[in-house]
Amino acid sequence: MAKRDAEVVATLARELGYPNEVESIRERIRAISRSDLDLLLVAVDAMDRPIGFVQAHRVCIIEVGFRVEILGLVVSSSARRSGIGRRLIDEAERWAKHIGAEAVSVRSNTKRTEAHLFYPALGYTKIKTQAVYEKAAR
Contact 88, 43 (CB under 8 A): yes
Superfamily for the 3-121 domain: Gcn5-related N-acetyltransferase (GNAT) (3.40.630.30)
What are the boundaries of each domain within the chain?
A: 3-121
pLDDT by residue (tens digit) across 61-110? 999 999 999 999 999 888 888 899 999 999 999 999 999 999 999 999 88
Q: What is the pLDDT of residue 126?
A: 95
pLDDT by residue (tens digit) across 2-48? 888 899 899 889 888 888 899 999 999 999 888 888 999 989 888 88
Which residues touch 56 (CB under 8 Å, ≥6 apart)?
Answer: 38, 39, 68, 69, 70, 71, 92, 95, 96, 104
Mean pLDDT, residues 43-64 = 91
Count the Cβ atoms, other than its own, within 10 Å of residue 119.
Answer: 20
- Confidence band, pLDDT 50/70/90 cuts, at residue 1: confident
67 vs 37: CA distance, rounded Å? 11
